[in-house]
Amino acid sequence: MCGIFAVFNYPSDINAFRRRALLLSKRIRHRGPNWSGCEISGNNIICHERLAIVGVDSGAQPLINDDKSIILSVNGEIYNHKILRKQLKNDTQFKTRSDCEIILHLYAEIGIDAVKRLDGMFSFVLLDTNKNRFIAARDPIGITTLYQGWSSSSPDTVYFSSELKALQDDCDKIISFPPGHIYDSLTGETTRYYQPIWWDSEYIPTTPTDYTLLRKTLELAVRKRLMSDVPFGVLLSGGLDSSLIAAIATREAAKLAASEDGIEDNEVDERVVTTWTKIHSFSIGLPGSPDLIAARSVAEFLGTDHHEYTFTIQEGLDAILDVIHHLETYDVTTIRASTPMYLLSRKISGMGVKMVLSGEGSDEMLGGYLYFHNAPSAIDFHKETVSRVKNLHTSDCLRANKSTMAWGLEARVPFLDKDFLDVVMTIDPEEKMSKEGKMEKHILRKAFDVSTTGDTHPYLPDSILWRQKEQFSDGVGYSWIDSLRDISEKSVTDEQLANAFKRWSKDTPQTKEAYWYRDQFESLFPGDHCTESVVRWIPRKDWGCPEDPSGRAQNAHNSSYSKDVSSIQAS
């Protein structure tokens, strides 16, 4: 990942603006501490803060073609860049080993349709100097972050940045650029390019679960994301999702290590750093927390080189304002879960690690959150999964991206692979639902159970594969959320909460904790133009959900549905 800052059609002296642009780009340098670049063409300027992971010795950005007609700045990774190179019609000479350079040459051949061919996580801005055209695009789900801004003093000027903080002073209108879309200055329109069949929530799938396809598609998704020229690891909470990713990564890395020439696969880049002989795993929690205990057992089972970190309640509370600064949101769930991830990312970055695999996305597409137990019907269940996937860029993707990139660490999320999404989101929702004694995400669990795989060596022990869902903010230690509630009670008076609607008529905080976060957010990002990009998760009260988003607050957390592994596996 990297940081992008760009201004197109600047109304005054662009060279005089250069210093200002560099200062604004510096606000996001934590995203790309390895190098900075800046290019001016006409009245346009593109700045880049680079985190070097692939093509470390080359690939500095902005990237420019031979005749300087195309200038490109990318944040992200293009996993299919090698296969796309082979598909180019022109005899193209690549200047770098960077996976991102393919966008430049693909655009030169087929124009803005190039974005439809990309398999990866990315945001980019591109300037076509011949046509005086600039475009911007964001990956299908919004794994990477991108903001677009305007100033009423110069309405024809368009700003882009990987984070809000680089735009807040120069723009009075800012939006979170929509995932799966592309902006074209020639038309002035932002259009959707990502249009899978399941995106229409009126489409209700009826395909039965193919457990082999489910397993193999996820394995390939992990394999793609091992592409790296630098040391990497896996985030391991001990829950199902992170543990599965760790298990698959361990197996795939072992295959690569056993093969001198790498795995023969036209769809993936087999280049994987071999600095470490074992996969490194990382976990964090309060002393004795459920996640630390579970992660330890997973690491021992998989044989990873495990790194376990603890934090104190006070350390977490001290970090809240910094977390809000980096997250650029006041959403309760996101801040709760991001704080331990933010602290862990600092530790990981300090070890020289630049990339980690993470487990975001599974709960949204499979209905893994405990409130999904309350879904009134399969159709309602499916529509909620579609809605949650569509909004991942406002919550878990935002958390994973900004919590890690605060320390120059890139998080890759295999569950949000396009092919895997297409498999999961077209499964009959009746088969996904948690009913008749079935545990949440039971089809994913069953896909990797020895009863289905026939494997003599299990991916995970049953105690982990069939472990009940714990939200990350709960799993790091229940007293973490309890402490956040306690300090909110002391920081916000009853009168302040009762009159919150007078201060914030839109998106009014309903709890003292929400009020506390909103107040801190506005101290960093004052003005309505900053709050416009924030989306707060609203609980499904019509499904009986309480205001508090904690998993412990859901009835299913302490329900009496069967947890007997043998009966669940057989279902």
One digit per residue, pLDDT tens: the chain, 571 residues?
Answer: 799 999 999 999 999 999 999 999 999 999 999 999 999 999 999 999 998 888 777 778 999 999 999 999 999 999 999 999 999 998 888 998 899 999 999 999 999 999 999 999 999 999 999 999 999 999 999 999 999 999 999 999 999 999 999 999 999 999 999 999 999 999 999 999 999 999 998 999 999 999 999 999 999 999 999 988 888 999 999 999 999 999 999 999 888 877 655 444 545 565 555 455 689 999 999 998 888 999 999 999 999 999 999 999 999 999 999 999 999 999 999 999 999 999 999 999 999 999 999 999 999 999 999 899 999 999 999 999 999 999 999 999 999 999 999 999 999 999 999 999 999 999 999 999 998 888 999 999 999 999 999 988 999 999 999 987 665 445 676 789 999 999 999 999 999 999 999 999 999 999 999 999 999 999 999 999 999 999 988 888 899 888 776 544 455 545 433 333 443 344 4
Classify burial at 213, counting beta carbons within 10 Å of its beta carbon; exposed 0-12, middle 13-18, buried 19 or more. Answer: middle
Domains plus CATH for the chain?
2-195 (3.60.20.10), 211-465+472-570 (3.40.50.620)
Q: What's the confidence (pLDDT) of residue 571?
A: 40
Q: Which residues are annotated as a binding site?
A: 99, 235, 284, 358-359
Q: What's the confidence (pLDDT) of residue 563?
A: 39
Per DSSP, 550 falls in state: -
Render the burial of 294-317: b for 16+ CB within 10 Å, e for the rest.
bbbebbebbebebbbebbebeebe
Q: Which residues are annotated as a binding site for L-glutamine?
A: 99
Q: Are the C-beta atoms of 122 and 78 separated by less than 8 Å?
A: yes
Strands (E), 228-316: 232-235, 280-285, 305-310
Q: What's the confidence (pLDDT) of residue 299?
A: 97
Q: What's the confidence (pLDDT) of residue 270?
A: 54
CA distance 330 to 231: 33
Q: Are the C-beta atoms of 319 and 339 separated by less than 8 Å?
A: yes
Q: What's the confidence (pLDDT) of residue 65?
A: 94
Classify burial at 91, counting beta carbons within 10 Å of its beta carbon; exposed 0-12, middle 13-18, buried 19 or more. Answer: exposed
Classify the phi-psi angles of 290: left when phi > 0, otherwise alpha if psi is within -120 to 50, otherwise beta.
alpha
Farthest-apart Cα atoms in the chain, separation: 71
Q: What's the confidence (pLDDT) of residue 269?
A: 60
Q: What's the confidence (pLDDT) of residue 566?
A: 41
Write down the pTM of the prediction: 0.93
Q: What's the confidence (pLDDT) of residue 471?
A: 53
| Angle between helix 211-224 and 240-258 (nearest 10) | 70
- Of the candidates 6, 7, 3, the one whose C-alpha atom is nearest the C-alpha of residue 145 is 3
Q: What's the confidence (pLDDT) of residue 271?
A: 57
Q: Which residue among 2, 47, 397, 530 is the active-site one? A: 2
Q: Which residues are annotated as a binding site for ATP?
A: 235, 284, 358-359
545 carries an active-site annotation? no
